[in-house]
């Protein structure tokens, strides 16, 4: 699936009818999924998050901007947040299968249409900017709505699309393409704005990719450092929170918690969870649920409003409730044993790989947290534990991916073939479906060498009490490799391109041989260690 995320900000956070109309305009577009509507009365601003395939996102974006232009009059707007238009800002963010360059093109197409059909001046910003001085949203929005008429008269600020004159009702709109931006506010134990302003100023001086201002939200009865984290790879939630906490302490203040506005990618909270576990001397290779709980508790994300990770994390909002991976162990075993083609061997292979990777993460974590573990050992195990946990999570997704791939083969096989055209279309669909069904287990095979590499380290450096777990993990990886390899071979005959199938078979054969050889070496060493330990205990007791 090709997915783009859009996070438009509209200049109304108080009129529910207006907010609902904008949300409805987005939801009415086929292929667009509305994820979140987050109004703020104090800021008088609503942040909407939706995702969709590129063309659906483009259409939903235009319908939302048109609805906002019809319903919002900027001449009467007053609010805490900087703004220059009814639709103040509209970013396209690549999520899956879409490049930044494609998002830039989407921004430019939307900008041209908004200007032509709605008569609203449009500035392109961030990655879509047409000149360096327009990359920063803060620079584009400088002067806000009140200074917009004068700005439009300045030749240096001629809009990228639309008339260089004020649209009194709608103002102007910034449309762009960017990395994921997290809107994040840190709460202070004061209701005086001046203190939040001081903290925000010091945060800006740190040189991090963080935009910060200070304000007071009356309904929260506290001052906040309101931040946009524009590059989560360079400055995450934990970096912003820790900076505010340190600076506030130096000013005699306390941070009481924080607030996320809109949605956030899961990795932002996982990174925060790992950061705080490391500070506790704990292994960062913990399961995702533990990482999330650590992040939510430490950041105080429920301080001013409830925080539900299932509703506020982008990826979790897109998960289907009926997926196989969400079943209980008993439920999955029952589905696996049912007289139906799916789930089948490919899903079982993915589950085995997930279990083997999870055991590797457990051994790395227990070794990391053992009393007296040397710093160099922890430094070695830190990335291994994290990578093993991620491998377990990725493999688990394969349970559903494999079942879906096979279902696509079944669906293609049921297509009509009453005419030559239908027969050709069916053949093409079957070929594509079989490729998918072969590539899914092949991707699982390709991920297993990294797991084996981790086990090779753990059988040498892991805690001796975990040797049997390393052996079990190696056995599970072997089972996953054999089963995945079999599923690759099972789907290749349905593909017409014999050169392509020969390459895929050769790759699958090579990966399987390498995994089995290396896993066998790990298992052999683990068995020797277990035998030596058993012999030592027997001798000592006689």
Catalytic residue among 12, 242, 402, 469: 402
d(CA 189, CA 93): 34
Domain boundary among 287, 317, 347: 317
Model confidence at 537, pLDDT cuts 50, 70, 90, reads: low
Collect all residues with Cβ–Cβ distance below 8 Å to 12 and sequence separation of at least 6: 18, 19, 39, 44, 45, 46, 68, 71, 72, 77, 86
Weakest mean pLDDT among 182-186, 277-281, 375-379, 534-538: 534-538
d(CA 64, CA 8): 9
Domain boundary among 127, 148, 177: 177
CA distances from 158 to 41, 153, 161, 163 (A): 32, 7, 8, 8
The model's pLDDT over 359-412, given as tens digits with 9 standing for 90+, comes to: 999 999 999 999 889 999 999 999 999 999 999 999 999 999 999 999 999 999
Range of the domain at 7: 3-177
Model confidence at 540, pLDDT cuts 50, 70, 90, reads: very low
Predicted confidence at residue 515, as pLDDT, reads: 98
Report how far apart the first and last C-alpha atoms of the chain are (Å, whole number).
64
The arithmetic mean of pLDDT across residues 250-275, rounded, is: 94
Percentage of the chain modeled with pLDDT above 70: 99
| Domain match, 262 and 347 both | no
Alpha-helical (H) ranges within 171-265 are 193-204, 237-250
| Domain match, 187 and 124 both | no
CATH number of residue 74's parent domain:
3.30.990.10
| Domain match, 257 and 276 both | yes
The model's pLDDT over 204-261, given as tens digits with 9 standing for 90+, comes to: 999 999 999 999 998 899 999 999 998 998 999 999 999 999 999 999 999 999 999 8
Query: Is-contact 177 92, C-beta < 8 A?
Result: yes
CATH number of residue 435's parent domain:
1.20.120.680
| Domain match, 104 and 235 both | no
The arithmetic mean of pLDDT across residues 501-526, rounded, is: 98
| Domain match, 19 and 71 both | yes
Domain boundary among 280, 297, 317: 317
Query: Is-contact 463 370, C-beta < 8 A?
Result: yes
Calculated CA dihedral for residues 57, 61, 67, 70, nearest 10 degrees: -160
Predicted confidence at residue 536, as pLDDT, reads: 74
Q: What is the DSSP string of 263-293?
A: -B-HHHHHHHHHHHHHHTT--S---HHHHHH
CATH number of residue 268's parent domain:
3.30.70.670
d(CA 126, CA 112): 17
The arithmetic mean of pLDDT across residues 333-344, rounded, is: 95
| Domain match, 66 and 137 both | yes
Active site residue 402: yes
Q: What share of the chain is helix, strand, coil (3-state, %, to 5)?
A: 60, 15, 25
Predicted confidence at residue 1, as pLDDT, reads: 61
| Domain match, 478 and 401 both | yes
| Domain match, 163 and 286 both | no
| Domain match, 241 and 257 both | yes
Collect all residues with Cβ–Cβ distance below 8 Å to 320 and sequence separation of at least 6: none
Active site residue 139: no
| Domain match, 457 and 383 both | yes
Work out the angle between the directed axes of helices 237-250 and 193-204 (0-180°, nearest 10): 120
Residue-averaged pLDDT of the chain: 94
The model's pLDDT over 14-37, given as tens digits with 9 standing for 90+, comes to: 999 999 999 999 999 998 999 989
Predicted confidence at residue 419, as pLDDT, reads: 96
Model confidence at 542, pLDDT cuts 50, 70, 90, reads: very low
Catalytic residue among 77, 81, 238, 275: 81
The arithmetic mean of pLDDT across residues 66-73, rounded, is: 97
Residue 13 has pLDDT above 50, yes or no: yes
Weakest mean pLDDT among 280-289, 364-373, 459-468, 532-541: 532-541
Predicted confidence at residue 264, as pLDDT, reads: 86
Burial class (CB in 10 A: 0-12, 13-18, 19+), 424: exposed
The arithmetic mean of pLDDT across residues 66-77, rounded, is: 95
The number of distinct structural domains making up the chain is 3
Weakest mean pLDDT among 310-324, 326-340, 387-401, 493-507: 310-324
| Domain match, 282 and 368 both | no
Predicted confidence at residue 539, as pLDDT, reads: 53
Residue 64 has pLDDT above 90, yes or no: yes
The arithmetic mean of pLDDT across residues 485-505, rounded, is: 95
Model confidence at 109, pLDDT cuts 50, 70, 90, reads: very high
| Domain match, 170 and 186 both | no
The arithmetic mean of pLDDT across residues 309-333, rounded, is: 89
Higher pLDDT: 440 or 321? It is 440
């Amino acid at each position: 699936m090709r997915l783009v995320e859009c996070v438009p900000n509209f200049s109304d956070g108080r009129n529910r009818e207006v907010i609902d109309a904008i949300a409805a305009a987005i939801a009415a577009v086929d292929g667009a999924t509305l994820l979140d509507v987050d109004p703020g009365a104090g800021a008088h601003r609503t942040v909407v998050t939706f995702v969709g395939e590129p063309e659906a996102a483009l259409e939903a974006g235009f319908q939302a901007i048109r609805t906002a232009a019809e319903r919002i009059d900027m001449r009467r707007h007053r609010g805490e947040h900087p703004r220059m238009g009814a639709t103040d800002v509209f970013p396209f963010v690549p999520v899956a299968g879409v490049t930044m360059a494609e998002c830039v093109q989407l921004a430019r197409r939307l900008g041209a249409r908004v200007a032509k059909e709605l008569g609203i001046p449009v500035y392109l910003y961030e990655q879509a900017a047409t000149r360096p001085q327009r990359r920063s949203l803060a620079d584009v929005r400088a002067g806000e709505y009140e200074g917009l008429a004068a700005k439009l008269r300045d030749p240096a600020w001629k809009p990228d699309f639309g008339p260089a004159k004020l649209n009194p009702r709608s103002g102007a709109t910034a449309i762009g393409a960017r990395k994921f931006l997290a809107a994040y506010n840190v709460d202070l134990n004061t209701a005086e704005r001046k203190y939040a302003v001081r903290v925000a100023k010091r945060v800006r001086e740190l040189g991090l990719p963080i935009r910060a201002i200070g304000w007071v939200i009356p309904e929260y009865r506290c001052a906040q450092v309101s931040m946009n984290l524009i590059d989560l790879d360079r400055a995450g939630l934990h970096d912003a929170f820790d900076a505010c906490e340190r600076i506030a302490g130096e000013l005699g203040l306390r941070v009481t918690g924080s607030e996320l506005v809109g949605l956030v990618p899961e990795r932002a909270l996982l990174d925060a969870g790992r950061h705080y576990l490391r500070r506790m001397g704990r292994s960062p290779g913990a399961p995702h649920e533990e990482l999330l709980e650590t992040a939510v508790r430490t950041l105080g994300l429920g301080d001013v409003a409830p925080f539900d990770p299932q509703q506020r994390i982008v990826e979790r909002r897109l998960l289907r409730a009926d997926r196989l991976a969400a079943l209980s162990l008993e439920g999955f075993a029952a589905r696996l044993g049912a007289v139906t083609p799916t789930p089948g061997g490919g899903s079982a292979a993915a589950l085995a790989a997930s279990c083997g990777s999870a055991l590797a993460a457990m051994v790395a974590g227990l070794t990391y947290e053992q009393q007296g573990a040397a710093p160099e050992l922890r430094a070695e195990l830190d990335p291994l534990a994290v990578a093993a946990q991620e491998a377990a999570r990725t493999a688990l997704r394969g349970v559903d991916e494999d079942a879906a791939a096979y279902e696509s083969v079944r669906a293609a096989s049921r297509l009509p073939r009453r005419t030559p055209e239908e027969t050709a279309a069916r053949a093409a669909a079957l070929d594509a479906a079989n490729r998918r069904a072969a590539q899914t287990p092949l991707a699982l095979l390709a991920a297993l060498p990294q797991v084996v590499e981790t086990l090779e380290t753990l059988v040498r450096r892991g805690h001796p009490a975990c040797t049997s777990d390393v052996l079990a993990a190696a056995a599970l990886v072997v089972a996953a490799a054999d089963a995945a390899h079999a599923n690759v071979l099972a789907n290749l005959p349905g593909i017409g391109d014999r050169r392509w199938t020969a390459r895929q078979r050769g790759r699958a054969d090579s990966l399987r041989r390498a995994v089995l050889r290396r896993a066998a070496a790990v298992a052999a060493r683990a068995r020797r260690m277990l035998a030596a330990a058993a012999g030592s205990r027997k001798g000592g007791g006689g």
